[in-house]
Amino acid sequence: MKRPERVAVIGVGVLGASVGWNLSRHGAEVVFIDAGRPGEGVSNWSFSWVNASNKTVRKSYFDLNVAGMAAHRELAGIIGPDSWWYPSGHLRWADDPAAQAKNLETAGLLADWGYRVEEYTGAEVRRRLEPALTMPGELPVLFYPDEAWVHGHHLVGRLVGQAVASGAELRSGTAVRDIGTGADESIRTVALSDGSSLDVDIVVNAAGPSAAHIAGLVARPLPMRREPGVVTRIDCDQVPIHRAMHAPHIEIRPDGDASVVLHSREIDALIDTGEEPAHLARLLHASVQHVVPALADSRIAQTRVANRPIPADGFPSVGAVPTVPGYYEAVSHSGITLGPVIGRLLASEIVSGKQDEMLADFRPERFLP
């Protein structure tokens, strides 16, 4: 079988880095292209929670995310887990009866699907897992022991670094200006904003929030949702929690030895009202103190509003686009969870031409006119 002479991977977040790393291992000549710096976009500004417990809307999507979790564990064994992989589990609880009932209903479904979930009381959680939390002692709390969080920036750096050491090329700080095709509509060139042009056989669109723009360069319609999210990092002398958690009104996870990441869908809803990011950060900081009082003395360090890369129907768009030979997409929300498995499956498809059934529900042609 013929390997592609040159593959341009556009967008170097977790998805792009995973595809490029896998292609490099297959022997393809890879060029990473990013308008910014690898791993500093959405991959560095998401909650970065590796899970399938929040993916029950479609069984095939749940199965893909379970495979993503397994692929992370496999990847940690290959490249080493240090600095990016934190398989410490995930906690979820609510403070109103309706939300509690929904959480328990979902946990029951997940258990039926063979997904590990444990139920504790608030008192047991404080005693066994997270002594710094404040919660009612009798409150039902769900623990998903197989879930994890990832430091996306570090993971991207590790993957790209290994690929470059194996011969891949990195073009960062330059945007894609145009994609040229031949008489048969197949991919031929990629023109960059620095004035250079690359001869390529394959383009992988992993451009995240800019994916629709890149698709438009080959006259490919890719409808995307607009869902901005605000993430805040707070610095503290000692991180008082050990794992990712969904508490009432706030999502919290460690971010290394001296930092904690905060996010909230409720605060996201304020983005389009015109509130400044600094004010949203203060709201997040105030909210977390009700759950982790030890964070009262922490300091807001960084805040970013980022657009999540979500195709219009909410599901990934992964694979070839039949109308443009040589053009592939790797666009998804949950890129942190799905990066390693999509990277492996798509790279194999590009090299071998064989499609994996696991991606059957997520093919790009569902968006063709």
Q: pLDDT > 70: what percent of the chain?
A: 99
The mean of the pLDDT values for the chain is: 96
Q: What is the pLDDT of residues 327-353, one digit of tens each?
A: 999 999 999 999 999 999 999 999 999
Q: Which residues contact 215 (CB under 8 A, 6 or more apart)?
A: 205, 221, 222, 329
Are residues 219 and 158 both part of a single domain? yes
Pairing of strands 140-144, 259-263: unpaired
Q: Say whether both 214 and 234 belong to one domain.
A: no
Partners of 191 in the β-ladder: 178, 197
Residue 3: pLDDT over 80: no
pLDDT for the residue numbered 1: 39
Q: Is residue 65 part of a domain?
A: no
Task: Mark whether 282 and 316 lie in a shared domain.
Answer: no
Q: What predicted TM-score, i.e. pTM, was given to this entire model?
A: 0.96
Q: Give the list of residues 6+ apart from residue 2 with CB closer than 8 angstroms, or none.
A: none
Q: Is position 172 within any domain? A: yes
Q: Are 140 and 121 in contact (CB under 8 A)?
A: yes
368 band by pLDDT with thresholds 50, 70 and 90: confident
186 lies in the same domain as 329: yes
The arithmetic mean of pLDDT across residues 172-182, rounded, is 97
Let me know if residue 19 belongs to a domain: yes
Residue range 116-145: average pLDDT? 97
One-letter amino acid for residue 141 of the chain: V
What CATH number corresponds to the domain at position 349? 3.50.50.60
CA distance 76 to 83: 11
Q: What b-and-e string marks burial along 99-138, b requiring 16 or more CB atoms within 10 Å of the CB?
A: ebeebeebbeebeeeebebeebbbeebbeebbeebebeee
pLDDT digits (tens, 9 = 90+) for 232-275: 999 999 999 999 999 999 999 999 889 999 999 999 999 999 99
Percentage with pLDDT > 90 across the chain: 97
Q: Is the pLDDT of residue 47 over 70?
A: yes
Query: Looking at residue 8, what is its pLDDT?
Result: 98
* Residue 50 banded pLDDT, cuts 50, 70, 90: very high
Q: Are 71 and 85 in contact (CB under 8 A)?
A: no
Residue 74 placed within a domain: no
pLDDT at 10 over 60: yes
pLDDT in tens, 92-122: 999 999 999 999 999 999 999 999 999 999 9
pLDDT-derived band at 299 (thresholds 50, 70, 90) equals very high
Chain centre to alpha carbon of residue 218: 25
Encoding tokens for residue 244? Answer: 């990712």
Say yes or no: 180 and 128 in one domain.
Answer: no
In a domain? residue 68: no
pLDDT at 100: 96
Q: Is the same domain home to 207 and 317?
A: yes
Find the helix or strand (DSSP H, E) in which 262 lies: strand 259-263
Tell whether 66 is covered by a domain.
no
Pairing state between β 327-331 and 202-205:
parallel
Contact 144, 116 (CB under 8 A): yes
Based on the domain organization, do 94 and 218 belong to the same domain?
A: no
How would residue 5 be classed by pLDDT, with cut points 50, 70 and 90?
confident
Average pLDDT over residues 56-77: 98
Using alpha carbons, list the distances in angstroms from residue 124 to 103, 243, 281: 18, 16, 31
Domain extent, residue 234, equals: 228-307
Do residues 212 and 317 share a domain? yes
Residue 287 falls within a domain, yes or no? yes
Evaluate if residue 4 carries a pLDDT over 90: no
The single-letter code of the amino acid at 15 is L
219 and 232 assigned to the same domain: no
Residue 286 phi/psi, 5-degree rounding, is -65, -40
- pLDDT reported for residue 184: 92
Residue with tokens 């999210």: 229
Residues 303 and 185 in one domain: no
The number of domains in the chain is 3
